[in-house]
Amino acid sequence: MFNNSTQAKAGAGNFGACCKSSCSRLLVCMFCILSFTSCESNKPPTPLTIVVGSWYGFYPLYYAIEQGLDHKHQLRLKILEPSNIFNLRRSYLRDEVDAAATSMLEFSNANILSNQALSPVIITDFSAGGDVIVAHKSLKNADALRGKRIAVPSQGIGSYFMSLTFEDSDPFKYFTQIIIPETECEQAFQHEQIDACVTYPPLSTHLLANDNLHLVTSSEAFPNQIFDLLWAKPHVGADTKAKLVNMWLEAIDVIKKDPENFYQFVAAIANVPKETVSEAMDGIILVDSDINRRLHKDGMALSASLVNACKVAKHDKCETFKTLFNEVYAGSKQVSQ
């Protein structure tokens, strides 16, 4: 009996020791997991300098900072907004700049000028009526523009828009290009210096108030073919790019819930009336989560548009863009088969 009792006590003691040991190991594991999670959440945000073109469609990046979304996604954004295209290029060529938000045409320019393999992060918006051709009412349609004097800014998306209109990567052989800022089109019409003007709201609204002018065509005729994008330099890692995508999409979701607040925010930065901002934004579609998911079926088409824009810019090796969106919109690989 003594032996049995002793064995029972010894067994109980061993069982208790095992329990204590297992519990200790479990507690240590839990502590490690909690510590790791805490360390991950407390990691300093990744600093990211982004240069943007001077266009309201990129202002969701400012709004993301205002709403604290950059820090929420473990980023610390710094936005640079140069005053003209030449300063924009000087900025994105600097080593200190990590990414940029530009038109598709300028993205092709950046690849050539930087001599780097720049990668798309996300398409930010599509032009859906935001780019227009305003002309004398005697010019009934796009075919009537042939041989006419058309104000098309140099170094801009207007050239690509005209290539779509004339279905040719060299549209300038069909008309005489008048290089003036869009802001001078009204005066040029008055002095009979131009027959048509490539422009955008709200400038187009002022032009169309003239009873002698009308809208010939707009980017609405070319759905999903004119877009802006956020792109990154090679040193920006996949994890950072993913955070940037998620931050952008959340910013657009916030904007959709209260667009008027966003318009007021942009108006305060740009020092313009809120109505001017809302009118300009009416012509574009900001890419939200739903649209971004649908783009996974359109990677090849998006790449094809980028190839065309590159050809309009008269660059060599434009065919290298043929599969550029396959990594960003991976579903395009399956669709193309």
Domains of the chain: 46-127+224-335 (3.40.190.10), 132-221 (3.40.190.10)
How far, in Å, CA of 19 to CA of 2, rounded? 25
pLDDT, tens digit (0-9, with 9 covering 90-100), for 178-197:
999 899 999 999 999 999 99
In this prediction, residue 10 carries a pLDDT of: 43
Least confident segment among 11-15, 80-84, 173-177, 188-192: 11-15
> At 284, is the secondary structure helix, strand, or coil?
strand
How far, in Å, CA of 8 to CA of 205, rounded? 94
Residue 285: strand pairing partners: 126
Q: Is the pLDDT of residue 9 over 50?
A: no
H helices of the chain, in order, are 2-41, 60-66, 69-72, 85-92, 104-114, 157-166, 185-190, 203-208, 238-257, 259-270, 274-281, 289-294, 299-312, 331-335
How far, in Å, CA of 163 to CA of 50, rounded? 29
Non-local (6+) Cβ contacts of 56 within 8 A are 266, 270, 277, 280, 281
How far, in Å, CA of 294 to CA of 173, rounded? 36
pLDDT, tens digit (0-9, with 9 covering 90-100), for 188-234:
999 999 999 999 988 999 999 999 999 999 999 999 999 999 999 99
CA distances from 8 to 4, 18, 317 (A): 6, 15, 83
> At 198, is the secondary structure helix, strand, or coil?
strand
Q: Is the pLDDT of residue 155 over 80?
A: no
Q: Is the pLDDT of residue 313 over 80?
A: yes
Rounded to two decimals, what is the model's pTM?
Answer: 0.83
